[in-house]
Amino acid sequence: MFRKNRPLFISMDQQYRKLKRKFYTLLFLFVLFILGTSYYLYLNYDYFAFKHLISQNYIYTDTLDELFKKELNRDVNGEYYKNFDNLVLSIVTREIRELNGDQYTYQYLPENYKKTKEAEKEEAKKSYVEEISKDIIYLKVTNFSEYTKDFMKKQIKTLKNYPNIIIDLRDNLGGDIFTQYYMSDLFLPKDQTIAYDITRSDLLTRTVKSKKKQVLQYNHIIILQNGNTASASEGFISSLHDNLDNVTLIGENSFGKGIGQFTLPLKKGFAIKATTMLWNTPNNINIQGVGIKPDLEYAKEDIIDYAVEYINHQQK
C-alpha cells in the first residue's frame, strides 16, 4: 500500500487561500481584543476618570500627601497616580473591616508582606517529630505552609515506623489550605471528602477529596487542640475525625474559623488578602464562630502524658 505523495509545489491559489484564512483569523482575534478592552474600559470608566481627576488635578496636594502617608505609610513624592490603586485598596479594605469586623481582609504593605512571609518560614521551622516510645510518635505542627509541606515530606519515612501517633496542633493558627489538603491526603484513604469549599463562583466551589492511597496508617491517632487551633488546623482535624474511626481529639474547643482567604501579590511588593471562601467539614458543617469540640476535654500542662496514657490504656 503506497502513501499518496504530497505535491511538490503549492499553487498560488492555495497559498492565497491559506494566507487569507490566517488573515481573517488574526483579524477576528484583534477585533475581539479591541471589543473586550473597550468594554473593560467602559465598565471602569468612573474609576479611571476619578483616578485621573484626583491624582492629576486636585489642587490641595498637602491633603493628598497626608492621605497617602496615613494609608500607605510612605511619602509618594507627588506620584499620586502610580500609588492611587494601593490607596483605594487600603481604604476599601479598612472600611470592610470596620463595617463587618472581617479582620482577615486587608492590604499588605511591602515591608509587612515580607515580614509575614519570613515569620511564616520561621514558625514552620519549629515543627518537629519526636519518639515517645517504640509504639508512639509525636508530631508537632506549628503552621500550614509550603515549608510545613517540605517538612512533612522529609518525615514520612520516620512516621511510618510507629503504630500510634500524637499530632499536636495547639496554637497552630492555620495557614495554607493546599498544604492542609496535602497533609490530610497522607492520612486518608483515596476518594475521601476532605472539605467543601464554597465560593461565589461556581467554577471555584468544589468538593475536595483525597487523591492518593493512604500513606500513613495508625492504630490510634490523637490530636491535641486548644482555643488557638484555627483555620487550616481545624480543616485538618475535621478531615481526619469525620473520615476515620481511630481519631481522638484531646484538649479544648478549637477557635472556630470556617472561612478562608486568598492572598494576591501585587506590584511594588504590595499584596491584597481577602475573605473569599466558606469551608465546611466532611460532614458538611461550617464551624465559623463555633469551633470543634474535643472528644476529651483536658487543659493541663501534662496533656501529652495524658494522651500517652490514653493510647496505652486503649491497647490493653
Give catalytic residue positions. Answer: 231, 257
Residue 162 contacts by C-beta under 8 Å, 6 or more apart in sequence?
Answer: 131, 134, 135, 136, 137, 218
User: Could you tell me how far CA 112 lies from the centroid of its own chain?
Assistant: 18
* Cβ pair 275, 260 in contact under 8 A: yes
Q: Which residues pair with 225 in a beta bridge?
A: 251
* Cβ pair 188, 214 in contact under 8 A: yes
Q: Residue 262: which of 108, 110, 149, 150 has the closest Cα?
A: 108
Handedness of CA 15, 17, 19, 22 (dihedral sign): negative
Residue by residue, what is the 3-state secondary structure of 260-314? Answer: EEEEEECHHHCEEEEEEEEEECCCCCCCCCCCCCCCEECCCCCHHHHHHHHHHHH
State the first-to-last Cα distance of the chain, in angstroms, to the nearest integer. Answer: 77
**Alpha carbon distance 245, 241 (integer Å):** 7
